[in-house]
Every structure is written in structure tokens, then in C-alpha cells.
Structure 1
């Protein structure tokens, strides 16, 4: 999920989405003769497009992490013209992805760790073609990875359109996939960049193509014999020292707020509670909680969050069961169950490609009435509880949340 549209220094920027052109193949030898006669490409003034990241945010790079952009002794105007940042002494790369096309036939790609949320693992980035020495970073720091390679290398494809010779390549990151018995997920950012250099006898142009998510469907809800609701909390910490798990449950998303957009690894705070009952003896228990990519709780793929009311142990990021105590201000504490998990996206079981899809949360619940022999209290420090011992008031009910999507 890229935070900004990628820009690159060019003579003329392509402003509209690329359409499929009529193309014909060109040999590398033919274009190499043209490039050989071109002069080296110094920084030039270019037309800038909109950037989703503000200049202030993009340029907030720690002094020790700054990498010089362009040739030495650039002025402020020249630096801004190639979409870089200026600190009164030098021009440096900002928190973005910068693609440059030089007249001597080189791609220059500089990727910032902060180009995505969660931040990129720069070691996982690779180009389209074979990973030989030419296609590896020419320099890597804690904050940036720099690539420079000929436009004829690293799996670049070549075509000709409207008087230009076009070189196109892709850069992407790998990611870790967790696989369960009925579904697979990932919580890592998936970075993918498609970029072009377009050459003619008089000009150099670039084009960057990004893929956006599809619009989501409407949220869902479910009820049982005793009305039980699953809702997502929306409160946030704004003051220093506040406890996020407490503040989260100060407010909740309404039906109009769905679908709720989240980043990978963002915390998702869920609450299940009994509606319209004032019997303090009733105890709400969660049996299973899981996620699916469709509103149907029976659909696949699925990912377990709670198993028998306890965190699913095969998840690296264990779901957190949040105690409901007197500090919550609730009148009937046993009517509520709360838990939190880290946002993820489902992965295709065959290709392991992120589906970048919607996520729905479901819980199977039991409303229990305590007896002398059974307190209805759940504990995770034991084997699976004896279901037959539960004094269920209304049987098992499945409740579902509204929709979560990735930004």
C-alpha cells in the first residue's frame, strides 16, 4: 500500500493512466546505437505532478539517513524540479520511491523504507528478471535501497510506441505467509511498482503504474435467540500516557462507518456483548472467533482468532483477550467479551498472492447461567473445556462484524 504516487525526474511527465498501445518489438542493438550517441543527462527542470505525501512529511528524513540526490551543488529550484528535498546545503531523497531515466540508458530507482505502512523490509525487494549482480542494490542503508542498472538488463521488456522506444520493468517485495488448516494470511506490506522509461531522439519520459483496490460491499449482521452483537471499537489514544486498550472502547464504529479501512498490522479492537438483558447472572462466553473474506461465516478461506475462547496458538501475532473489569464503567461486566488482533489480508492458497480483499469477523457465542457445579468462567490455562458442562441459556449463536478493508 503505497503512501504516495511515485514521481521521477523527466523532461516531460506523462499525466494520464497508461492505456494499452499498439506496439511492435525493437531489438536492443537498434536502441543501443541511439543511446550511445546521447549525451549524459544532467538534472533538468521537470513538470511535477501531485504527491499524496506533503513536502514536509516527505522531507522529514533524519540527517544521518539522508542520501544525496542528483549531482553536487544543485540549487533549491533544481532539487525540487527532480522531486527531491533540500536542506540549504544539499539535495537529498525523501520518504518516497523515486524513479529516474537517464539519457545514457540507465534506470535509477531509490526506495525508501517509509514508502509503505507497515514499513518495507528493504531486503525483500527484487526486480523482474534474474537476480544477478547488476540487478542488486548498488547501495543500501537503514532507510533506503538504491538501484541503478541498464535499461536493457534485469528482465526489462522492450517495445516501440508512437515514436518512442519504451523500456518497462517491475519491482516487488516478498512477504511472509502464515498457513492454517483452512486459510492463509499475511500481515506484511506487499510492495509492487511498475515503471517505464520512454526514449526518443529528443526526449526522455517516464511512467509509473499502480494498482488500486476494488470498492468494498456493504457490511453484514447476524442475531440469535438471545440478541448478541459483535462491534468494532474506534477510540484512539491522543494524550501521552493513555492506554490504547482502554481508550479504544470509548467509542464504536456505526453502521454508516463500514467498511472500516485498516493498514496491515493495525490493531483491530472487537467487542461481543448481550443486548437488552439486565440479568447480572448471565455470562457471555466466546467459543470460536474467526475471519473470512466474505460475509458468510461458513466461507473459505478462514483464519482462526480465538479457539475455545483462547488465542489461536498457531498465529505468530496472538489475539489478545482483553479483560472487562470495573474500570470499563459497564454495569453488567459478564455480558461483555473483548479481544484485539493485528490486521491481515488473506492469501491465495495456490499462488500465495495477497488477495487484498475484505475481512469479516465472526464469533460463535454461548450465554451461560452459573450453577453450583459450573461457574461459566473461561480459562485458557487448561485443556478444551467440557462443552456438556456449560449451562447454556440460548444455545450457540454466531454473530458477525461489518467489513474491514485494507488501505
Structure 2
């Protein structure tokens, strides 16, 4: 820990000699809308400091600066130039300097951090009200929260900041993290929220100040599923995509499917996974496909742990806050034999270690027990689902007329 008198002397010298541009105070950068007299720009302008021969950098900056007009938060002083705006890691559209879809760390010359975290920093989007600093003091709360950004401003000596001295610099280092919900079932635990961790620094000397983002941990995308089941049943994943304006992805998802060469397929947390189980090589319109239990495991062994239920007795697992959605099928579904199919939509998740409650970087497999039913007067082969909580089966049940079909591998990839 550096001697505090030494730190104070350095801060005074820094205030006299600092060459960096001043950053607007909290009261200024909380102006959320441009003034009515300012012309509205629809095209994002890229600062001239980005070399034209670096298309990847230009594309990344363009995406970061694509903030909706009503969500822009002013960065820097009014009237700031494009060059000065770029120097403090912000975006410029010709008239306005504003924060981009990322994490922006700035060091004010009077010895304060400004940290602005965008909702779009992670995929899926970060829940801004879950973000917090290491320190628990009241002064460590955000100074501003909008739908798209959370804004912190606090002294570099507060909120749990660690202070060190190296090579003529006083280094102030802090960390920010997010909380996330964990759902715990009888056979495993999962999460669907982004898990965010940010390490950042301000370095002060008598002539300069540097803001550094050391590391950002976001949460991840996940991967695929597809699958050939036993002889006459198959579990596969729909990959149909919208190609015309106004199209709804759910309407076209089952128009095409992943094949073996497409795997692994990356999915992001909470992205929909379109699952279909179907009967193969049968043309009898009277038979009905029924599903029993559908569940996920972290290995291809359908009895391995951890596990997470998706369907119980053919119905969505009610203890899951993001319950599986059953897709109704009838004569208008465009299928020759709609009773030969079952479809459902799962919101992607990651398995979580039940002791540490940390996400596991593992693979995921989906399994379903299925059977072919022949309707009779007493049994119409209908599966009726109620909202009442159902008991979870602790073992995979397979009767003499049911089989298990499994998906291909889902690979968890953290962004």
C-alpha cells in the first residue's frame, strides 16, 4: 500500500501538469437526450483515428457505436471534438459524443473513476441492476442508471480500490462483478444469466494518467444439438432463419434442420433451441408419438449427473423459471402426419456447480423418452398439461414400448 502523503503529492502534481482532456462531471454526462436544436444523425461516423485498412476494427467500432438515439448518454464536455471524443474511448456522430455498447473506464484528473457499463456488454444482455463494485459503501452505488447503461463515479481511493506504486506511477485497481440467478433441481443446477466480471485501473503520474481495462469476463454462447435416435425415432434441431422483413423466427425455425456436418452449433444463453422428435419410416396416420421425460446432461451418458429436466410426463418442467414451450401441431402445421411429431423450445442454459454455484464449461446433451401410441376408445393418446407442480422422476423410465432418443453435443462457449 503506497504512503498516503506520497499519493496526495502525486495527485496535486498531476492536477497541475496533466495533459489529458477533462471529463465532464456526473451532472453533465447524465443528459440522456440531445438538445432539440441539434441535428439528428442516422449514420454512425467513425473517428478518423481508425486506419481505413483495418476493416475489422472499423466493423467492431461501428457495432459498438450503434446506440439508439433515445438511449445515448453524453460523454465528455459539450462541444467536444471527434478526436477528443475518441481519446476518451467514446463514440462521435458528427454532433454528439456518447458512450458505446461496451465498458468505458475513464480517470478524472481530480482522482476519480468513471465507469460506464452498457447493457450490451455481454450476450445475453447484462442485467444492469445486478452489477456492483467490491465496496459496499453507499457512495459506491451507481450515480445514474438508464435502460441501456449504468454509470459509476467514485474516488479512486474508495469502494475497495487497491493502491500500489510502480515505476513512478500510483496504480488504483478495482473490480466490478454481477450477480446471477441459479436454479437448483434435484439432480443439478443451471443458470441463464450473463456472468460479468471487470478488472480496471487508473494510473497516475506527475505528467499523465492512464485508464486500463485489464479483463472483462462475459457470459457465453452455447452450442448445438442434433441427433439420430434409435431405428425409427429421431431427435433433431430446427435451424430455419428469417430471410424476409417481418418474419418471425419461431414460424420458420422448423423449415430446415442442422445436419451432422453443422456441428458444433453455437448458441447464446437464453437463445431458443428448437427441438423436434419424430417417427421415421411410418405412414400410418392413426399412430401418435408421445414424449415422457426430456432432460439434459453434461455427457452423452443419459444417466450421468448433473441433469436438468425439460419435460416431465410430456409437460414442461414447472420448477424451471424459463419453462420449456410446447409447440402445438395440427392439420394446419404443413406436416403430412402431424401426430408423428413433437416439438418444443428450450431456452439455452449452462450447468452450474452446486457447491461453488459457478458456471461449468462443459458439454450438454438432450435426451427424451418417447413411445408410439395407438388410440383406443379409452385412451386417445392425449397428453394434457396442467400448471400444477409435477413430481420429478429421479431415474430414466423406459417401458417396453418406449425408447430414448438423444441429441448431439452442445458445447458451452463463454464470450
With normalisation by structure 1, the TM-score equals 0.80
Q: CA deviation at 1:265?
A: 1.9
Indicate which of 364, 368, 374 corresponds to 1:363. 368
1:139 and 1:147 in contact (8 A); partners too: yes
The aligned residue for residue 28 of structure 2 is none
User: Aligned partners of 1:43 and 1:80: how far apart in 2?
Assistant: 11
2:327 and 2:344 in contact (8 A); partners too: yes
Indicate which of 357, 377, 383 corresponds to 2:382. 377
Give secondary structure in 2 for the equivalent of 1:260. coil
The aligned residue for residue 263 of structure 1 is 268
The aligned residue for residue 84 of structure 1 is 90
Give secondary structure in 2 for the equivalent of 1:31. helix
The aligned residue for residue 400 of structure 1 is 407
The aligned residue for residue 21 of structure 2 is 43
User: Aligned partners of 2:121 and 2:57: how far apart in 1?
Assistant: 12
Residue 278 (structure 1) aligned with residue 283 (structure 2):
yes
User: Aligned partners of 2:190 and 2:59: how far apart in 1?
Assistant: 29
Q: Could you tell which deviates more after superposition, 321-330 or 296-305? A: 321-330
The aligned residue for residue 61 of structure 1 is 67
2:235 and 2:277 in contact (8 A); partners too: yes
Q: CA deviation at 1:291?
A: 1.5
The aligned residue for residue 215 of structure 2 is 209
The gaps in structure 1 that reach 5 residues or longer are 1-24, 385-391
CA spacing shift, 1:102–1:382, aligned 2, 3 Å: closer
Q: Could you tell which deviates more after superposition, 289-298 or 272-281? A: 272-281
Q: CA deviation at 1:233?
A: 0.7
- What is the number of equivalent residue pairs in this alignment? 376
Q: CA deviation at 1:308?
A: 0.2
Q: CA deviation at 1:393?
A: 7.1
Give secondary structure in 2 for the equivalent of 1:210. strand
Q: CA deviation at 1:248?
A: 0.2
User: Aligned partners of 1:207 and 1:137: how far apart in 2?
Assistant: 19
User: Aligned partners of 1:115 and 1:285: how far apart in 2?
Assistant: 42
User: Aligned partners of 2:48 and 2:110: how far apart in 1?
Assistant: 18
User: Aligned partners of 1:263 and 1:216: how far apart in 2?
Assistant: 5
Q: CA deviation at 1:127?
A: 0.7
Deviations 1:84-130 (A, max 9, x none): 1223333221222101124443221011223233332222110122x
Residue 320 (structure 1) aligned with residue 325 (structure 2):
yes
Residue 174 (structure 1) aligned with residue 179 (structure 2):
yes
CA spacing shift, 1:170–1:229, aligned 2, 3 Å: same
Give secondary structure in 2 for the equivalent of 1:361. strand
Deviations 1:196-225 (A, max 9, x none): 22334444332421347899999785643x
User: Aligned partners of 1:70 and 1:137: how far apart in 2?
Assistant: 18
- Structure 1 stretches of 4+ with a deviation exceeding 6 A read 44-50, 212-220
CA spacing shift, 1:65–1:378, aligned 2, 3 Å: closer
Q: Could you tell which deviates more after superposition, 318-327 or 200-209? A: 200-209
User: Aligned partners of 2:377 and 2:357: how far apart in 1?
Assistant: 51
Residue 119 (structure 1) aligned with residue 97 (structure 2):
no
The gaps in structure 2 that reach 5 residues or longer are 23-46, 391-398
Q: CA deviation at 1:307?
A: 0.5
Residue 296 (structure 1) aligned with residue 272 (structure 2):
no
CA spacing shift, 1:279–1:65, aligned 2, 3 Å: closer
CA spacing shift, 1:214–1:70, aligned 2, 3 Å: closer
Q: CA deviation at 1:164?
A: 3.9
Deviations 1:284-333 (A, max 9, x none): 21101112233322222221111000111112222111122334433332
Residue 34 (structure 1) aligned with residue 10 (structure 2):
yes
The aligned residue for residue 134 of structure 1 is 139
User: Aligned partners of 2:370 and 2:238: how far apart in 1?
Assistant: 19
2:117 and 2:149 in contact (8 A); partners too: yes
Give secondary structure in 1 for the equivalent of 2:154. strand
Give secondary structure in 1 for the equivalent of 2:407. strand
User: Aligned partners of 2:58 and 2:321: how far apart in 1?
Assistant: 33
Residue 343 (structure 1) aligned with residue 357 (structure 2):
no
Deviations 1:231-259 (A, max 9, x none): 11111233344343330001111222222
User: Aligned partners of 1:117 and 1:217: how far apart in 2?
Assistant: 14
2:328 and 2:343 in contact (8 A); partners too: yes
